[in-house]
Amino acid sequence: MPETLTSYERWQAMAPGWERWRSRMEEFLGPVADWLLAALAPKAGDIVLELAAGPGETGFRAAAMIGPRGRLFSTDFAPRMVATARRRAAALGLRNVEHRLMDATRLDLDADSVDAVVSRFGYMLTDDPGAALAETRRVLRPGGRVALAVWGPAERNPWLAEAGRILVRQGHLPQPVPGEPGAFAMADAAATRALIEAAGFGAVRMEEVPVRLTFGGLDDYLRWATEASGSGLVIRRLPRAELEALRTELTTAFAPYATAEAGYALPGLALCVAAARGR
């Protein structure tokens, strides 16, 4: 039977792997964070909210920009992710960060209380992105800004989509259902724009931001996939024969992305969006 996990269960379980792979993932996803922070342009003294912060790196860069008079709320709905971010903030010596356990669809913040909201790959994982965007607008002050990233279409993200496709075909994952939380739940640019505008945002700007994920070979990729991807819990429980079948199919699927160093440079595409709350 295909394994079904809630988004909460999955990210609670994957938090230790995200902590171990933090520096590699920041290298991979640096262009996305750069875009989001440039679009958000937090100023000294701003109050910034990061949703679905995970290890918290994007928000921590914002914390450095807003300075000691500013405040960052680093939030996630998975307690282990919040603990991961708290450890990272302590290691960085950040004193203007408050860590909160918070669901993006039910924000425990006052209306008109923050200047900017940032979320790197968070809204697509919520049960109701429209509700999360409406809550984002509620807590933003008039003129406040949101910058978010979601993954583009599966065919533009083989680094993530290929393993999922194989696991679905093997019967280990259920077929994705449109509208359910997941990596590609907001991959349609027109639908995502409509969702953001329906939540009351204007001046919507969207841009495709390419990323490239490099791995030393299939073993390196599978270590990452097992420890830090959304399919990791399934992969680590595969019987030996089906793990070998996964390896064989991934070797074929990743062949176009092989490098001269016997590794892989796997392409990805993020859809980055910036918008503003009207008066």
**CATH number for position 97:** 3.40.50.150
Within a domain: residue 244? no
Looking at residue 4, what is its pLDDT? 55
Looking at residue 179, what is its pLDDT? 78
pTM, to two decimals: 0.94
DSSP letters along 43-91, please?
Answer: -TT-EEEESS-TT-HHHHHHHHHH-TTSEEEEEESSHHHHHHHHHHHHH
Looking at residue 262, what is its pLDDT? 83
Within a domain: residue 147? yes
Token code pair at residue 167: 């696991």
Measured distance CA(220)–CA(187) in Å, rounded: 27
Within a domain: residue 230? no
Within a domain: residue 138? yes
CA 208 → CA 27, 80, 130, 151, 251, distances in Å? 18, 31, 21, 9, 27
The sheet carrying 201-215 orders its strands as 97-101, 71-76, 47-50, 114-120, 140-151, 264-277, 201-215
Looking at residue 192, what is its pLDDT? 97
| Type of residue at 67 | G
Within a domain: residue 259? no
Contacts of 202-205 spanning 24+ positions with Cβ under 8 A: 202/275, 202/276, 202/277, 202/278, 203/274, 203/275, 203/276, 204/273, 204/274, 204/275, 205/39, 205/273, 205/274, 205/275
Looking at residue 180, what is its pLDDT? 86
Looking at residue 1, what is its pLDDT? 45
**Phi (first) and psi of residue 21, to 5 degrees:** -95, 10
Give CA torsion, residues 116, 120, 122, 123, to 10 deg: 60
User: How many domains are contained in the chain?
Assistant: 1
- pLDDT tens for each residue of the chain, 279 residues long: 444 567 777 778 888 888 999 999 999 999 999 999 999 999 999 999 999 999 999 999 999 999 999 999 999 999 999 999 999 999 999 999 999 999 999 999 999 999 999 999 999 999 999 999 999 999 999 999 999 999 999 999 999 999 999 999 999 888 888 878 889 999 999 999 999 999 999 999 999 999 999 999 999 999 999 999 888 889 999 999 999 999 999 999 999 999 988 899 999 999 999 999 987
Do 278 and 202 form a contact (C-beta atoms < 8 A)?
yes
Domain that holds residue 52: 7-155+180-214+268-277
Strand runs labelled E in 121-246: 140-151, 201-215
Within a domain: residue 186? yes
Within a domain: residue 234? no
The residues pairing with 48 across neighbouring beta strands, listed in sequence order, are 72, 116
Within a domain: residue 170? no
* CA 171 to the chain's CA centroid: 26
